[in-house]
A and B are shown apart, each in its own frame.
Chain A
Amino acid sequence: MDPAVRNLLLRILRKIPTGKLEETLTKWTHLSRTQQQSLNYSQSKWILHENIVYLCEENGLTMKHVSELDMIYCMENPTSATWRACQLTDAEDDASSVELISFKEQFKAHLSELIRNVSIKIKKHDDESIWIRIAWGDHFSKPNHLKPTYVVHYLQTPYVFICNLSSKNKLLLHQALVLATKHGSIKDANLSGRSFHAVRDLLMGHYNKTFPTSHSRPLKERNLSPTHPNIVKEHIEQAEKRQQLAREAFGEGTVPKLERATYTLETRFRGGSGIDTFIDSERPFKTVVTFESKSLLASLRHCVSSGMAESPVSPLLSSITQKGRNYFVITDKTNKGPDMTTQSFRSNV
């Protein structure tokens, strides 16, 4: 076995937790059933990995097979890196007729035309998504399988999700994607997160949304009432209204896990005189407000439902779910949304 292949295999194996290793190897199908049964998963990781490498050497597996293992693991656990969403625009007339085989051929042909040493692997997931693994090289070096780029595209939708893409290869990939999907151009959708599923659900609207209604909820769902008959809440109406508002803005039940939202404010300083530093009002005055949390949407929802944030919900916050993006540039000078909620948010997280 080539040392590079062995190196990559070991690296991939180290990435996979032992609990998921058996499942992943079964999906890989390049080890026979008896070979898999001979593996002892209770052994130490190091010995187990050596055994797997030995079996792979026995089967004469190459780089192609090993990169497939990486891809299988990434498809099952797409939370290892930051996923960025992109949107294809200016669809051509026959864009909706693109199907898997022609997309595969087109994409491979266009990308290998643009760059010589590149290794592309395309696989279809169970949920109709196309997963593309690209190992980049350049004119003088072989494809680097240690840092592959992953691209996910749902056919007939304008959305593409990319992770681990260096700026050097960005243009090449964008061009190949645009040509293969028969679109005019591609643009950043201003949405990124560590969980692929969250980014996808947010952009494609696949999660539990509550739509604004003027009716209050049925009685059985009211769980706010206190336990004892002698305890009465004075603000129960408002509390229910806040809950409803929170659900409308950020969804119900488990919401997509987003890690951050960034607001960039670009404006000019318009304060009174006396502050010399800002007096040069020709220069733009930039402010960045970032909200961070393990699950940002759940935190924001709690802020609103518990009354910590002002209600009604600031449109800047609710547009995270409504527009499916978490990077905003605010050039409108009258908007003070993020400043208002910063303080209340900090007290929660």
Chain B
Amino acid sequence: MLKPFRKVPVLNTANLLLVENEEQLQSRLGEIILQIEKDVKINVRLARKLPLPMDTQDSRPRIDLVVFIVNLMSERSLQCAEKSIKCLDPGFFLGKVCFVVTGARCLSVSTNHLLTVRKMAASLHCPLLFAEDQTSEGVSTVAVRLLGILKVAAGLVPLATGLSLNSLAHCVLPSDLDELDSLT
């Protein structure tokens, strides 16, 4: 179980954990985030799934933001994210978790996958970002947005906390979807 407050924070540092089963987008995202941020020291940890292995526990810093990257084209990716969420301490859901969805533009993707992710993000009150992973502009856009959330979650932005950002930016399901669900 990954705990948010097990380690003491380091001054002027933000630590990001990217969880992606396919390992396609996460290293690119990490590199871009490190490139654009010069003032703050950022550590990026890449993982395929949670729980994280025990042997890297000592070297692992306090995680400020956990990002689950879900590729809608692969069912396995979704299942893996669903399983991984259970290994997070509930404390993370107070503004330290974010979902990124890729491949939503693809027409062959079944709409159920997207709906599942949205429901998951809505029930956990987490932000949900859509990413275009085929173009470099798309990747850098997501990187910039993630960096913004990370800085807030790490407490580097005055007068803003992860929790307050969450209450503004968390994913909401449209009400008609709920009605549709109750009908079926």
Asked whether, in the complex, the Cβ of B53 is within 8 Å of the Cβ of A232, the reply is no
Q: How close is B17's CB to chain A, nearest CB, in angstroms? A: 8
CA distance A186 to B30 in the complex (A): 59
Q: Is the CB of A237 within 8 A of B53?
A: yes
Hey, which chain A residues are within 8 Å of B76, CB to CB?
A: 308, 344, 347
Q: How many A-B residue pairs have CB under 8 A?
A: 57
A234 interface residue (CB < 8 Å to B) = yes
Q: Does A306 make an interface contact (CB < 8 A)?
A: yes
Complex interface: chain A residues within 8 A of B22 (CB):
306
In the complex, the answer to whether B74 meets A347 with C-beta atoms within 8 Å is yes
B55 → chain A closest CB, angstroms: 7
Q: Quick check: which of B38-46, B100-108, B109-117, B143-151 contacts chain A, the rest being far away?
A: B38-46
Those of B21-41 within 8 Å (CB) of chain A: 21-23, 27, 30-31, 34, 41
Minimum C-beta distance from A128 to chain B (A): 45
Kindly state the separation between the CA atoms of A234 and B50 in the bound complex, as whole angstroms: 10
Q: Are B23 and A228 in contact (CB under 8 A)?
A: no
Q: Is the CB of B53 within 8 A of A230?
A: no
Which residues of chain B have C-beta atoms less than 8 A from A102's C-beta? Answer: none
Partner of B27, one of A226, A237, A238, A308: A226
Question: Which of A228, A231, A235, A237 gathers the greatest number of chain B CB atoms within 10 Å?
Answer: A231
Query: Given A226, A234, A344, A347, which contacts B47 in the complex, CB threshold below 8 Å?
Result: A234
Report the minimum CB–CB distance from A305 to chain B (whole Å). Answer: 11
With CB as the reference atom, state the residue of chain B lying closest to A227: B31
Is A232 a contact partner of B46 (Cβ separation < 8 A)? Answer: yes
Is there an interface contact between B27 and A231, defined as CB atoms closer than 8 Å?
A: yes
Interfacial chain A residues near B53, Cβ < 8 Å = 234-235, 237-238
Known: A235-B53, A237-B53, A237-B55. A230 touches B46 (CB 8 A): no
A interface SS class: loop
Number of chain B residues close to chain A: CB under 8 A = 24
CB-based contact A234/B52 at 8 Å:
yes
> Would you give the shortest CB distance from B66 to chain A, in whole angstroms?
12
In residues 70-84 of chain B, which contact A (Cβ within 8 Å)? 74, 76
Bound CA–CA A39/B35 (angstroms): 61
The reply to whether A231 and B47 contact each other, CB–CB distance below 8 Å, is: no
Are A230 and B44 in contact, CB atoms less than 8 angstroms apart? yes
Report how far A234 CA is from B61 CA in the complex, Å.
12
A33 close to chain B: CB less than 8 A: no
Question: Within A212-259, which residues are at the interface with B (CB < 8 Å)?
Answer: 226-228, 230-235, 237-238
A234 CA / B76 CA spacing, docked (Å): 20
Which residues of the partner chain A approach B46 to less than 8 Å between Cβ atoms? 226, 231-235
Tell whether B56 is near chain A: CB-to-CB under 8 Å.
yes
- Cβ contact within 8 Å between A230 and B34: yes
Q: Is the CB of A232 within 8 A of B55?
A: no
Inside 8 A of A228's CB, which chain B residues have their CB? Answer: 30-31, 34, 44
Question: Within the assembled complex, what's the spacing in Å between the Cα atoms of A233 and B19?
Answer: 10
Decide if A307 is an interface residue (CB 8 Å cutoff).
yes
A232-B46, A232-B59, A235-B53 known; A306 vs B23 contact (CB < 8 Å): yes
Q: Is the CB of B48 within 8 A of A232?
A: no
Asked if residues A234 and B45 are in contact (CB atoms below 8 Å), the reply is: yes
Q: Which residues of B contact A308 (CB under 8 A)?
A: 76
Which residues of B have CB within 8 Å of A238? 48, 53
User: What residues of B have a CB within 8 angstroms of the CB of A237 in the complex?
Assistant: 53, 55
Mark interface residues in B51-70 (1 if CB within 8 Å of A CB, else 0): 01101100110000000000
B27: which A residues are within 8 A, CB to CB? 226, 231
With A and B bound together, what is the CA distance between A231 and B42 in angstroms?
9
Chain A residues, Cβ within 8 Å of B43? 230, 232
B47–A235 touching, CB < 8 Å: yes
| Complex CA distance for A226 and B32, rounded to whole angstroms | 13
Residue among A227, A234, A237 facing the most chain B CB atoms (10 A cut-off): A234
Contact residues in A for B52 (Cβ distance below 8 Å): 234-235
How far is it, in angstroms, between the C-alpha of A348 and the C-alpha of B60 when the chains are bound? Answer: 32
A and B contact pairs by CB, cutoff 8 A, 21 listed: A228-B44, A230-B42, A230-B43, A232-B43, A232-B46, A232-B56, A233-B45, A234-B48, A234-B52, A234-B56, A234-B60, A235-B48, A235-B49, A235-B52, A235-B53, A237-B53, A237-B55, A306-B22, A307-B21, A307-B48, A344-B76
Binding site for A on B (CB under 8 A): 21-23, 27, 30-31, 34, 41-49, 52-53, 55-56, 59-60, 74, 76
Q: Which 7 A-B pairs have the closest CB atoms?
A: A234-B47, A231-B44, A231-B30, A233-B46, A234-B52, A235-B48, A230-B43
Name 11 extra pairs, CB < 8 A, besides A228-B31, A237-B55: A226-B46, A230-B44, A231-B34, A231-B45, A234-B46, A235-B52, A235-B53, A237-B53, A306-B22, A307-B21, A347-B74
